[in-house]
Amino acid sequence: MKKHFGYILITYIVMQLSSIVGIPLLLKIGVDALGQPEDTVKSVVPGYWLIISFTLTLLVVWGILRKSETSTGLERSAPMNAGSSIVWAVVGIFMAFIAQSVAIQVEYALGIEMGSENTQMIISIIEKVPLSMMVAAIIGPILEEIVFRKIIFGVLYEKMNFFFAALISSVIFALAHFEPVHVILYSAMGFTFAFLYVKTKRILVPIFAHVAMNTTVVLMQSIYKDEIEKMINEAEQIQGFIGGLFL
C-alpha cells in the first residue's frame, strides 16, 4: 500500500474515534460560550461535531491526495471516456437502489429486522442540526468512496479477483458503520460501487452514485419519516404473521 493511502486511513480512523474527545470538548465550549444549560446544548453538539470532524477530514484527505501520486492499479489503466462515465454514474444510481432492494428482501427472508439504527441516528441528528445533512448526503459518501473503494478495494483488487476484493472491502464497510447485522445490505452497496469503479476506472463515478443515493434516502427519511416507520412496522407485522404460519 502506498504511504499516502496509509495516512488517509489513519486520518479516517482518527475521525471515527474523535467524538470520544471532541463531543465533550465541544459541549464544554458551547456551555461556557453560550451560557446555556448543558441539556440544551447537549442535544445539538453531536450534529455540530459531525460537521466539524467530517469537513476537516475531507480537507485533510483532499490535501494528501493533491500532494501525492493518486493513481491506483485501476486508474493507471485507461479510464472510460467522460461521456460514458457520466452515463454509468446515472445508471449506477438505479443499480444501487436495485441492489439495496434485493439485499433488504434477502435480509427480510432471513428474519433480520428492517431499518437501520445508523440511519435513524443520523436522521435524529439532522432534525436537531439541519446543516449536518451535508455530511450524510455529500461529505460522508465522498470520504467512504475514497477510503473503501479507492484505497481498500483498490489495493485488494491488485492482489485478488473482483469478488473477494469487493467482499472483504464491503464487510469492512459494514463494520465501519457498526452494523454487522446488515452486512448483506452493505455488501450489496459495496459490490455495486466497486463494480462502477472497476467498469469506469474513475472514482468519481461511484462517488456520484453514492452521493445521489444518500441524498435521496436522507430527504425521503426526513420528509416522510412517519410514513416510512409505519410501512416498516406493517412489514414486520406481516413477517411475524407469515413466520407464525410456518413455525
Give the active site residues. Answer: 144, 177
Radius of gyration of the chain (CA): 20
**3 state SS of 50:** helix
Joined together, the cell numbers standing for residue 119 give 440511519
Q: How far is CA 201 from CA 74, 123, 153, 194, in A?
A: 6, 33, 12, 10
Give the C-alpha separation, 128 to 184, whole Å.
Answer: 30
Q: Residue 201: how many CB atoms within 10 A of its CB? A: 19
Give the C-alpha separation, 173 to 207, whole Å.
Answer: 15
Give the C-alpha separation, 29 to 123, whole Å.
Answer: 25
Please classify residue 159 by burial: count the beta carbons closer than 10 Å to its beta carbon, then call 0-12 exposed, 13-18 middle and 19+ buried: exposed
Please classify residue 54 by burial: count the beta carbons closer than 10 Å to its beta carbon, then call 0-12 exposed, 13-18 middle and 19+ buried: buried
